[in-house]
Amino acid sequence: MYSFLVLLAGILQSAMMSFNGLLAESVSLWGVSFIVHFSGGLLLVLYILLVVREKITLRGMPWYLYSAGFFGVLLVSVSSWCVGILGAAVTTCLSVAGQLFISAVIDHYGLFHVPRVPFSIKRIPCFLMILAGIILLNLS
């Protein structure tokens, strides 16, 4: 049951990317980003007030953590643009490959104060397989 819910979450994420990509065909990328964050934020406020029943506070963090919103705008705009050209499946694949790559770099050097985890040689064949897949995507 819970597995199904997580699978559904993945399907919804993909649906979001596709819908945003379609929306970007008529509305500008900043417009898409505003619509997505405004409607999402509104729903999240309702969920916090009605289901979680927590008080809403946005103040009291170090200032640089508010850059989360900057990344939010950038990520939605860029993904909408990429999905419009590459399609949802290819964008997802490339994004996850990028996520694995940067995570390995961050772990290896212990960036952002995370514990250092040296890169394991066992991961190299997996990365080569992903690279081969990306080369195939390039050919299509």
Partner 1 sequence: MYAIIFIAFLYGCATVISKMINYRAAQELGTWNGSLVNYVVASILALVLLFFSSKLQTDLAMCTKVPAYLYAGGTFGVIAFVLSIVTLNRMKVFQSTILLLSGQLLAGILFDVAVFRNFSWIKLAGVLLVAAGIFWDKKVTSSVSKND
Site for partner 1 in 103-122 (CB under 8 A): 103, 106, 112, 114, 117, 120, 122
Residues 5-34, interacting with partner 1 (CB under 8 A): 5-23, 26-28, 30-34
**Tokens of residue 112, six digits:** 């952002």
CB of 105 to partner 1, least distance (A): 9
- Dihedral sign of CA atoms 83, 93, 103, 3 in order: positive
Nearer to partner 1, 109 or 120 (CB): 120
Is residue 57 a contact partner of residue 109, using CB atoms and an 8 Å limit? no
Task: Give whole-number Cα distances, 38 to 34, 47, 74, 125, in Å.
Answer: 6, 14, 15, 42
Residue 116 one-letter amino acid = R
Q: How far is the CB of 121 from partner 1 (least distance, A)?
A: 10
47: its two tokens = 């969920």
Q: Does 63 bind partner 1 (CB under 8 A)?
A: no
Site for partner 1 in 31-50 (CB under 8 A): 31-41, 43-45, 47-48
Instruction: Restricting to residues 73-92, name those near partner 1 by CB under 8 A.
Output: 73-76, 78-79, 82, 85-92
Q: How near is the Cβ of 14 to partner 1 at its closest, in Å? A: 4
- The rounded distance, in Å, linking the Cα atoms of 75 and 53 is 29
